[in-house]
């Protein structure tokens, strides 16, 4: 059934049956004789789509009533600026945890709008990377929130413990879940705000999901006057995420993926599959001395599996051979090199098994 398996980190693979449905509905959506891209976002058909999406999200990840769902644009990077703009004054402090590339991008952007206190919990012991437990982080007493990225998409390093430490009580936790949302169960109540670009595990580029505790929108007096209206959570919320024209096609596609996820068994089901997929792949890496991953198992990502070859010079050949075998886009990000298999929800376990078989054959033939 699957011709190829696409391990792209983002924009990432989309379930085949969703693509088939898009193809079928492209020129006639909802029996309107037009596509979803060609109608007003204020039409009842589209407003229903948006409302159903919110309902599906609430059901899938158990979003409590006191949280609002906002659909924004500009990707996670826009939120790197929008979050401090919405929640802080210039001279205020927030704790920013740095565990990798996206953490650092968020910090560099936040520096324009506040005084981030940077926490560096990544350590190295005998050439193996690990992350200090949350209970040992040095938080500042005057920080207004704690920002972190639990899953670093590029390095494949992750904070897998939920932010439930007693020391975090009464702190506002903000998390960039771009490459982790919908991949495992989380307790929304642990967070003040979570956000995610859609192109990894929700849908396509152009859409950014924000889940925010309502008091952070409506009782927030911290906001600066110069904040652009399109980034102002209060305005976005009041206009039901339609202050400006929303990315309608991206919303439509994401709505189909949420339906697909509900149909196959929801987060409980998919998180088990994701655990299984990543375990199989890490086992294959660990059992061979040809493939290497230098992250301690408890801090490994379940969605972005990074590895390298003992003999680095063979990596481009590995990528070429993999591609010939229908295993696409395994090249690591240019800033760290190596290899990376992104195995989000839409990657079936068959794809991971095929990759593992390929890795064994490659080692046998060229190792
Ligand atoms: C992809 C990614 C981003 C950047 O997303 P954009 O949509 O390009 O802004 C930010 N954070 C994480 C964790 C990501 O994986």
pLDDT value at position 289? 95
Measure 256 CA to ligand 1 centroid, in angstroms.
22
pLDDT value at position 219? 77
Atom of ligand 1 nearest to the CA of 208: 7
pLDDT tens column, 139-196: 999 999 999 999 999 999 999 999 998 888 889 999 999 999 999 999 999 999 999 9
pLDDT tens column, 56-69: 999 999 999 999 99
47 token code pair: 């407003």
At residue 225 the predicted structure's pLDDT band, cuts being 50, 70 and 90, is confident
Q: Rounded CA gap, 238 and 232, in Å?
A: 10
Task: Say if residues 30 and 45 touch (Cβ distance below 8 Å).
Answer: yes
pLDDT tens column, 126-137: 999 999 999 999
**Using a 6 Å cutoff on CB, does residue 201 contact ligand 1?**
no
- Percent helix, strand, coil in the chain, to 5, is 40, 20, 40
For the chain, the average pLDDT equals 96
pLDDT value at position 3? 82
Structural domains for the chain: 17-263 (3.40.640.10), 266-366 (3.90.1150.10)
**Using a 6 Å cutoff on CB, does residue 77 contact ligand 1?**
yes
Task: Say if residues 97 and 103 touch (Cβ distance below 8 Å).
Answer: yes
- DSSP for 241-298 reads T-SS---HHHHHHHHHHHHHHHHHTHHHHHHHHHHHHHHHHHHHHHT-SSEE--B-GG
pLDDT value at position 2? 56
Asked about 102 being catalytic, the answer comes back as: yes
Asked about 127 being catalytic, the answer comes back as: no
Average pLDDT over residues 323-342: 96
CB atoms inside a 10 Å sphere around CB 49:
20
Q: Please check the confidence at residue 122 and state whether its pLDDT lies above 90.
A: yes
Is this prediction's pTM over 0.85?
Answer: yes
- DSSP for 122-142 reads EEEETTEEEE--GGG----TT
Task: Say if residues 217 and 87 touch (Cβ distance below 8 Å).
Answer: no
The protein residue with its alpha carbon nearest to ligand 1, atom 1, reads: 178
Q: Which residues are within 8 A (CB) of 129 and not within 5 positions of it... i.e. 6 or more apart?
A: 122, 123, 157, 294, 295, 296, 299
The protein residue with its alpha carbon nearest to ligand 1, atom 3, reads: 76
Of 89, 318, 94, the C-alpha closest to 226 is: 89
């Amino acid at each position: 059934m699957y011709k190829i398996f696409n391990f792209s980190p983002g924009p990432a693979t989309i379930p085949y049956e969703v693509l088939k449905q898009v193809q079928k509905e492209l020129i006639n959506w909802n029996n309107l004789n037009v596509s979803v891209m060609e109608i007003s976002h204020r039409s009842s058909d589209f407003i229903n789509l948006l409302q159903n999406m919110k309902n599906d999200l609430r059901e899938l990840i158990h979003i409590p009533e006191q949280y609002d769902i906002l659909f924004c644009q500009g990707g996670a990077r826009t939120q790197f600026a929008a979050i401090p703009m919405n929640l802080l004054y210039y001279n205020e402090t927030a704790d920013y945890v740095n565990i990798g590339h996206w953490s650092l991008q968020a910090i560099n952007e936040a520096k324009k709008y506040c005084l981030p206190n940077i926490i560096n919990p990544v350590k190295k012991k005998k050439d193996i990377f690990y992350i200090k437990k949350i209970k040992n982080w040095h938080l500042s007493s005057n920080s207004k929130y704690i920002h972190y990225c639990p899953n670093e998409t590029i390095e494949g390093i992750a904070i897998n413990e939920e932010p439930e430490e007693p020391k975090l009580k009464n702190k506002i936790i903000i998390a960039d879940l771009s490459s982790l949302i919908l991949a495992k169960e989380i307790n929304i109540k642990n967070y003040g705000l979570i956000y995610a670009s859609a192109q990894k595990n929700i849908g396509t580029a152009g859409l950014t999901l924000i889940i925010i505790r309502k008091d952070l929108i409506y009782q927030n007096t911290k906001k600066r006057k110069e904040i652009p209206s399109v980034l102002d959570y209060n305005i976005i919320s009041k206009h039901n995420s339609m202050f400006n024209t929303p990315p309608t096609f991206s919303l439509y596609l994401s709505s189909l993926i949420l339906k697909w996820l509900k149909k196959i068994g929801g987060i409980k089901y998919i998180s088990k599959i994701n655990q299984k997929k990543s375990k199989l792949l890490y086992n294959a890496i660990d059992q061979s001395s040809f493939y290497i991953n230098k992250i301690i198992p408890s801090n490994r990502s379940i969605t972005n599996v990074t590895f390298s070859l003992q003999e680095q010079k063979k990596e481009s050949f590995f990528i070429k051979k993999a591609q010939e075998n229908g295993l696409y886009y395994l090249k690591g990000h240019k800033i760290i090199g190596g290899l990376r298999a992104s195995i989000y929800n839409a990657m079936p376990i068959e794809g991971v098994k095929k990759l593992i078989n390929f890795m064994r054959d490659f080692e046998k033939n060229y190792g």
